[in-house]
Amino acid sequence: MSKQGANALQKGHPLSLRRRIETSQTLARMLAAVAGSYLAFCQRTTRWQTEGLEDLRAALHDGPVLLVMWHERSIMGALHWPVADGPLSSLFDASPIGRVSGALQRRVGLHPMEMSRNASNRAASRTVLKRVRDGISIGMTGDGPLGPPLQVKNAPLEWARVMGAPVFCYAFATTRGRRLNSWDRMLLPYPFGRGAIVFARFQGGIPRKPATDSLERLRDDMCRFMNATTARADALRDLPRNDGGQPN
């Protein structure tokens, strides 16, 4: 626990759970172990359909990619990434859900990267580019850690431009689950259902120096593509099971 947290306890002011998670990596790891065990159980007991995984694997054979997803569909992303085909470094912040998410990503073999909300875009881009030069793909939520939901922020557009790598969108859907009472209405899966996993490659061009109007068109294009990928996962979830099987 941090010095600030220890001082607060000594003064008789117990920290909230939120603050404890923000200041304690040990607690974040413990919660990640519980969450990871539950999500892994959902993963094993769900009958999954997959689409686009081979396209993603083929792209990873040539180098790293940028993976984007809506925050509401991100909870299973670490379990669905094909770790054997290439490392992934997902971004997270110091919020409670971010800290737990980062710890969970480490548990499944990913390389999470904590991003400070106070860091400049240039400093963040340098950090991302170093990972990319090391052959590590980058994963992030298109609407960021705080929303507004389903609105593409500047970061995925900026890093797609700087990386010059293929951009893939990820979404999952399941017949058994619930929406959490959070800003993004995150989808939490339940076990023993049918599910779908979709990876789709974004075909829109990412110019190195886009003009303001072309940047806004690109934002709209990516938003529509991410919504279409999510809708495809929802539709695939309801189809009879094919030979897609579980992701490796």
Closest CA to 222 of 239, 196, 202, 201: 202
| Three-class secondary structure of residue 171 per DSSP | strand
pLDDT > 90? residue 159? no
What contacts 156, CB < 8 A, 6 or more positions away?
66, 68, 140, 142, 167, 222
CB-based burial, 215-241: b 16+ in 10 Å, e otherwise: beebbeebbebbeebbebbbebbeeee
- pLDDT tens-digit series, residues 29-80: 788 788 889 999 999 999 999 999 999 999 999 999 999 999 999 999 999 9
- CA 72 vs CA 55, 91, 181, 184: distances in Å: 24, 15, 11, 5
Residue 136 in tokens: 């590590």
Higher local confidence (pLDDT), 177 or 99: 177
Max CA pair span of the chain = 60
Higher local confidence (pLDDT), 7 or 32: 32
Per cent of the chain over pLDDT 70 is: 79
> Cα–Cα distance between 23 and 162 in angstroms, integer?
32
> Cα–Cα distance between 221 and 152 in angstroms, integer?
10
- pLDDT tens-digit series, residues 213-246: 788 899 999 999 999 999 999 999 988 765 545 5
**Whole-model pTM?**
0.84
Q: Is the distance from CB of 80 to CB of 53 less than 8 angstroms?
A: no
> Cα–Cα distance between 123 and 72 in angstroms, integer?
27
pLDDT > 90? residue 208? no
At 229 the pLDDT is 98
> Cα–Cα distance between 26 and 5 in angstroms, integer?
13
pLDDT > 90? residue 127? no
What confidence category does residue 206 fall into, taking pLDDT thresholds of 50, 70 and 90? confident
Overall average pLDDT of the 177-194 stretch: 95
Chain centroid, CA 71 distance in Å: 7
pLDDT > 80? residue 97? no
Candidate from 184-188, 209-213, 223-227 with smallest mean pLDDT: 209-213
Q: Which helix (H) or strand (E) holds 199?
A: strand 194-201
What confidence category does residue 27 fall into, taking pLDDT thresholds of 50, 70 and 90? confident
Q: Is the distance from CB of 76 to CB of 39 less than 8 angstroms?
A: yes
At 21 the pLDDT is 53
Structural domains in the chain, CATH included, are: 16-237 (3.40.1130)
